[in-house]
Amino acid sequence: MVLFFSFTPQQIEETEETVQEETEVEPEPPKPSPPKQANPISSSKAQPHAKILLLTRAKEALDKEKLDRDEEKVRYLAERVPPLQLAGLTLEQLQKLCTELHTKIEVVDEERYDIEVKVNKNAREIHDLNLKILDIRGKFKRPNLRRVRVSADAILRSLLGSKHKVSLDLRANLKSVKKEDTEKVLTTEVQDWRKNVEAMSGMEGRKKMFDAAGAGHGQKKPKINAARRLQLKSLMLAKAAVMLENETKEKKDEKVKIMAERVPPLDCGRMSLQELQELCKQMHHKIDVVDEERYDLEVKVVKNNKEIEGLAQKVFDLKGKFKRPNLKRVRVSADAVLGALMESTQKASLDLRANLKSVKKEEEKEKEVTDWRKNVEAMSGMEGRKKKFDSGAPAQVPASMAKCKLVLLRHGEGAWNKENRFCSWVDQKLSCAGVKEAQDCGKLLKELGYEFDLVFTSILSRSIQTAWLVLGAMGQEWVPVEKSWRLNERHYGALIGLNRAEMALNHGEEQVKIWRRSYGVMPPPIDQSHPYFLEIYNDRRYETCDLPKDKLPRTESLKEVLDRLLPYWEEVIAPEIKKGKRVLISAHGNSTRALLKHLEGISDEEISSLTLPTGVPVALELDENLRPTKPHKLLGDEEAIQAAIKRVEDQGKVLVPAK
């Protein structure tokens, strides 16, 4: 715990006077007065007393805080377990009271058990996060080494011990070396284990071991095709689901067993009045004890949750500081590189003499032609995306490179977008402005000559409605539309339904920005007490998911959105694009940002500054491997797009009242 104290000038003067009184000594002969200090409390004598004063105040604050917590605990327990009144109760009333107390013990003990499980889970999570932080720091931290000069003789002495006098004078040591060699020859021949180790090390050694064991017999490992891989993946997922079900069942059985041991069945039918009164007192005391333990565990859970949040933020900061881009190693011959650079249809060779004349002719022809590679380099990264195109025409890309076109679209303005609330998985229709945005988007795409063969949307109404309105404005209502929950908006957990500006006022704009725009930080999860929990998880549309309802997320970061979106992209959408189909994806802000991050290789830090306004189409040109040949482009009026981006970025800021 960190405590901050603020002192008024009067308190500082009182402290100084106290310090001066306590540090008075016998008068000494007058000395020349030193120059006045800016702050007398910073003198060497006053500093210890000031520290003691601060520590005393801190101890008082801690004691007061502990006392407040204890008082709150006593008040809470007094409300939960009121005093027991047994005077004047009949035998039947006491039996009924015993039954009620027994039921209450079962309820409270079950609550305590559940919180114990949560505490253990939090402890494991804290342990894992601490290990993760150590791994991240240990992975990137270099030891501080000091350069020293050491002679070869000193190194040998340190290796062989200080008693040995060793010299690197080979002539002086020649005779002794020859004697040692002669003695080795005279000894009996022993199998040299070093040769075996050298012979069996590396890939060759491993191959020899497998050959000796009879494994492989020179047969090549059969390749797994896409259908077989998908089948294996399905089998693994089914097996994992069965294992999870068995684990859940085992946990339930264990809970029932423990609860039966802790709270045995009640049998008070043959007890006398005095025995029933004594039993009621014992059960009332047990409720006190169990409820107090449950309260302490609840406090511990709250503390652990704060610690987990802090550690998760620390991991996020460390990853952002140290993370390197994931690069894929490939082997490419020089001819293949030249072929890729000079268009794949041409055959390139490194025979410079043979190609000299043709190269000169091509250079003369292409003097006035723009190099598309320079345009791609200049416009890559977040800075390049922010630059405006100087000319209306796109950068020149060879026809063989830009094979596919893809359009991404964030749905039009929703009802809760207008109210500046976290909508997430709550199903909301488009507002009037959102309907107009979708229709204008369709008209723009029609003017630009876009046609679609297939449309993908989430299962939320605002993205489906946007797709229908766009196709209607384009006159392409017949185009098939496929829906999947994997294109849904990011699950904002407990933030769902809250106003972004109010959250910024209560928690700070920076924290709200982390919740909204960061890559790896998850908001607090939604629970059953949330007002929109049942509206989401009792919705019939989620019965169509390829996951059971209890496995659907309760909160997500952008990383989790990308993890659930990628299988659908790779197994469903990407194959259709490779077949030559023109695809429109009508989704949401975060699912679209996650897909752009994957396609364009945007870093975890840069993705937080990528903003997509509602109802603005994003055009991508992809090569045969579905990699962008140039940065994505927002279609439409540039000034209107920039104004819409600013409106989205201002949603998480505190509202300033107009003067």
Q: For residue 321, which of 183, 139, 163, 472 has the smallest C-alpha distance?
A: 139
Own/partner long-range contacts of 89-92 (Cβ < 8 Å, ≥24 apart): 91/273, 91/276
**Tokens at 165, concatenated:** 């006098």
Average pLDDT of the chain to the nearest whole number: 76
Distance between CA atoms of 435 and 473, rounded to whole angstroms? 11
Mean pLDDT of 211-217: 53
* 3 state SS of 182: helix
Rounded-to-integer distance, Cα 517 and Cα 508, Å: 14
Rounded CA-CA distance 73/75 in Å is 5
Is the pLDDT at 124 greater than 70? The verdict is yes
* Ligand-binding site membership of 492 (annotated): yes
Q: Model confidence at 26, in pLDDT bands (50, 70, 90)? A: very low
Q: Consult the annotation and say whether 516 binds a ligand.
A: yes
The reply to whether 411 sits in an annotated binding site is: yes
pLDDT tier, 220 (very low <50, low <70, confident <90, very high otherwise): low
- Token pair of 246 as six digits: 């068995």
Is 80 labeled as ligand-binding?
Answer: no
pLDDT of residue 155: 63
Tokens 């509602």, located at residue: 614
Quick one: CA dihedral 189, 194, 195, 197, positive or negative?
A: positive
Q: What is the mean pLDDT of residues 117-135?
A: 87
30: phi then psi, degrees, rounded to nearest 5: -60, 140
Please tell me the least confidently modeled range out of 36-45, 238-247, 308-317, 412-421.
Answer: 36-45
Residues 442 and 476: their CA atoms lie apart, in Å, by: 10
Q: Is 475 left (phi over 0), alpha (psi -120 to 50) or beta?
A: left
Whether 130 has a binding-site annotation, put simply, is: no
Q: What is the pLDDT of residue 585?
A: 97
pLDDT of residue 363: 52
* DSSP-derived 3-state class of residue 410: strand
Share above pLDDT 70 across residues of the chain, in percent, rounded to a whole number: 66
Is the pLDDT at 484 greater than 80? The verdict is yes
DSSP characters for 361-397?
A: HHHHHTTTS--HHHHHHHT-HHHHHHSPPSSSSPPP-
Is residue 541 within 8 A of residue 459, CB to CB? The reply is: yes
Query: Looking at this protein, which amino acid is placed at residue 238?
Result: A
Q: Is 60 a catalytic residue?
A: no
Inter-CA distances, 231 with 224, 227, 485, 495, 578, Å: 11, 6, 22, 38, 22
Kindly indicate the confidence band of residue 584, based on its pLDDT and cuts at 50, 70 and 90: very high
The residue ranking higher by pLDDT, 221 or 585, is: 585
pLDDT of residue 271: 79
Of 223 and 349, more confident: 223
Q: How far is CA 628 from CA 379, 397, 598, 623, 632, in A?
A: 12, 11, 11, 6, 8
> Was domain 404-651 assigned CATH 3.30.450.40?
no
418-441: buried (b, 16+ CB within 10 Å) or exposed (e) per residue?
eebbbbbbbebebbeebbebbbbb
Q: Residues with Cβ < 8 Å from 370, sequence gap 6 or more?
A: 395, 396
* 488 annotated to a ligand binding site: no
Catalytic annotation, pick one of 102, 284, 437, 489: 489
Q: Give the single-character DSSP code of 573.
A: I
Residue 1, pLDDT score:
45
Name residues whose C-beta falls within 8 Å of residue 524's C-beta, 6 or more positions apart in sequence.
Answer: 493, 494, 495, 555
Pick the closest to residue 395 from 231, 217, 631, 180 (CA basis): 631
Is residue 332 over pLDDT 60?
no
b vs e for 323-344, b when ≥16 Cβ sit within 10 Å of the residue's Cβ? eeeeeeeeeeeeeeeebeeeee
pLDDT tens for 30-53 read 555 555 544 544 455 566 777 788
Between the alpha carbon of residue 560 and those of residues 28, 135, 488, 547, the distances in Å are 75, 22, 12, 15
Confidence at residue 397, expressed as pLDDT on a 0 to 100 scale: 42
Residues 596, 632: contact at Cβ < 8 Å? yes
Task: Tell me the pLDDT tens digit for each residue of 351-378.
Answer: 444 454 554 555 554 444 444 444 444 4
Question: Tokens for 389?
Answer: 């195109």
Burial tier of 125 (Cβ tally within 10 Å: 0-12, 13-18, 19+): middle
Q: Is 217 annotated as a binding residue?
A: no
- Tell me how far CA of residue 234 lies from CA of 39, 222, 238, 240, 507, in angstroms: 73, 20, 6, 10, 43
**Cα–Cα distance for residue pair 370/649, rounded to 1 Å:** 35
pLDDT in tens, 64-97: 888 888 888 888 777 777 777 777 778 788 888 8
Residue type, 329: R
CA dist 386 and 611 (Å) reads: 11
Q: Do the Cβ atoms of 522 and 493 come closer than 8 Å?
A: yes
Cβ pair 464, 592 in contact under 8 A: no
Whether 592 shows a pLDDT value over 90: the answer reads: yes
Q: Which amino acid is at 495?
A: L
Alpha helices (H) in 539-659, listed in sequence order: 558-568, 574-578, 589-600, 638-649
- The answer to whether the annotation marks 462 as part of a ligand binding site is yes
Dig out the tokens for 501 from the structure.
């500006």
Q: Per-residue DSSP letters for 495-544?
A: GTT-BHHHHHHHH-HHHHHHHHH-SSPPPPPP-TTSTTHHHHHT-GGGGG
Tell me the H-state helices in 220-350: 226-262, 273-322, 334-341
Q: Is 275 a catalytic residue?
A: no
Q: How confident is the model at residue 144 (pLDDT cuts 50, 70, 90)?
A: low
- Token pair listed for 610: 């990528």
Burial category of 492 from C-beta neighbours within 10 Å (exposed 0-12, middle 13-18, buried 19 and up): buried
Closest Cα to residue 282, out of 108, 101, 110?
101
Annotated binding-site residue? 490: yes
Q: pLDDT tens digit string along 153-177?
A: 666 666 655 555 545 555 555 555 5
CB atoms within 10 A of CB 521: 19
pLDDT of residue 10: 57
What is the number of helices (H) and of strands (E) in the chain?
23, 6
More confidently predicted of 319 and 548:
548
Catalytic residue among 102, 284, 411, 632, which? 411
Stretch 431-454: mean pLDDT: 95
Tokens of 525: 């999860």
For residue range 266-320, list pLDDT tens digits in order.
777 777 878 888 888 888 888 888 888 888 888 888 888 888 988 888 888 777 6
Contacts of 372 (CB under 8 A, 6+ apart): 395, 396, 397, 398, 401, 629, 630
Residue 563 has pLDDT above 90, yes or no: yes
Structure token digits, residue 326: 């994931």
SS3 583: strand
